Amino acid sequence: MEKNQYLDLYHQMVLIRRIEERSAELYQQGKIGGFLHLYIGQEAVSTGLISVRRPEDRVITAYRDHGVAINCGIPAKQVMAELLGKATGCSKGKGGSMHMADVEKNFWGGHAIVGSHLPIAAGLALGDQYRGLNNVTICMFGDGATNIGFFHEAFNLSKVWDLPVLWVCENNQYGMGTSVERASAVPEIRQKAEGYNMRNARIDGMDLITVRDASLEALEYVRKNGPMLLEIVTYRYRGHSMGDPERYRDSGEIKKWQETDPIGIYRKYLSEKEIASLEEMNEIDTQVDHEVDEAVQFAESSPEPELDELFRDIYVEA
């Protein structure tokens, strides 16, 4: 990678973190409605993964989607405007936090029903396979989603038909307040792929470079051979959504994971490898602060959707 590519990845992670912190404040001020699921702690997962996709590779995810939207190339302004339900948002203010999408950027959403987008991912990949295209569909989901029927149906068919889907489980240890150990019959999510005779791997999701390298290898495997499951082990520092009292874990556990903060690890990496100096990274931090200020200003001064937008975009015209 060139130096500017390394720095771009740093920029992306910091941008996501700051957008999330700012949206938590805006939520508390009553400016964001509905649910808000923050991605803080998980930034290295989508940043590393999406940095190696080809533009023709599709991306689809669940409701913890702001960071994924940013990594797919949706500008911070449009993400912020969507969070505030404004007409200038990427989903015209009608989707909100959980339903960011931009098909032109090959980002297929943002889905609120746990597991529901896995069969959709299989369908996207089936379409590509049928048309003889060489695209991969990258489908990201949580550990909790792997206990749901959708997961098993989609996994089975993807293997039976050798669909080009890279299944990516973001194992952040919890589905709402339930830990993986309490909800899953197997301790490692990757084991579930064994039941479908599917290649699988489990990697550290706090280290951007590990995620990037493993994702590149996985994408190339899927492009040639069919589906694979990549389990990326990560942690969310904030509650499941805003207002989560977090009675299911203690602050010691969060502190322990904060020692491996993905942004901290990557800063250390860039500095130790002499790719970037601390000053250069701090400069990016300042630049991101301005970008986020601008995005908030843009969102706050944007209009609400017009009433006649209400019944538009419900069905796709064939």
Give me the residues that bind Mg ion (CB under 5 A), please: 142-144, 172, 175
Of 169-177, 197-205, 279-287, 301-309, the segment contacting ligand TPP by CB under 6 A is: 169-177
Q: Which of 30, 187 has the CB closer to Mg ion? A: 187
Which partner, Mg ion, ligand TPP, none, binds residue 176 by CB below 5 to 8 Å per kind? ligand TPP
Binds ligand TPP (CB under 6 A): choice among 20, 128, 143, 231: 143
142 touches ligand TPP (CB under 6 A): yes
273 Rama sector, left if φ>0, alpha if ψ -120 to 50, beta otherwise = alpha
Question: Binding string, 220-259, against ligand TPP, x = CB under 6 A?
Answer: --------------------x-------------------
110 touches ligand TPP (CB under 6 A): no
Q: Which of 284, 288, 238, 280 is nearest to 258 (CA)?
A: 238
CB proximity list for 129: less than 8 A, separation 6 or greater: 161, 162, 163, 164
Could you say which residues in the range 58-77 bind ligand TPP, by CB under 6 A?
Answer: 64
Structure-block tokens of residue 232: 């990326």
CB of 184 to Mg ion, least distance (A): 11
98 touches ligand TPP (CB under 6 A): no
43 touches ligand TPP (CB under 6 A): no
Strands 137-142 and 228-233: unpaired
How many CA atoms lie less than 13 Å away from 234 in the CB half-sphere? Answer: 33
DSSP E strand boundaries for 78-179: 137-142, 165-171, 174-175, 178-179
Q: Which of 84, 85, 82 is nearest to 68 (CA)?
A: 82
Is residue 262 within 8 A of residue 172, CB to CB? The reply is no
Of 87-95, 110-118, 120-128, 275-283, the segment contacting ligand TPP by CB under 6 A is: 110-118
CB of 95 to ligand TPP, least distance (A): 15
Count of C-beta atoms within a 10 Å radius of residue 178: 16
CB of 128 to Mg ion, least distance (A): 28
Q: Which of 109, 144 has the CB closer to Mg ion? A: 144
Which partner, ligand TPP, Mg ion, none, binds residue 114 by CB below 5 to 8 Å per kind? ligand TPP
CB of 234 to Mg ion, least distance (A): 9
96 touches ligand TPP (CB under 6 A): no
Q: Which of 211, 217, 232, 233 is nearest to 136 (CA)?
A: 217
Burial letters 213-231, b for 16+ CB under 10 A, else e: ebbeebbebbeeebbbbbb
186 touches ligand TPP (CB under 6 A): no
Which partner, Mg ion, ligand TPP, none, binds residue 113 by CB below 5 to 8 Å per kind? ligand TPP
Structure-block tokens of residue 15: 């941008």
Distance in angstroms (rounded) separating the CA atoms of residues 147 and 185: 9
Which partner, Mg ion, ligand TPP, none, binds residue 291 by CB below 5 to 8 Å per kind? none
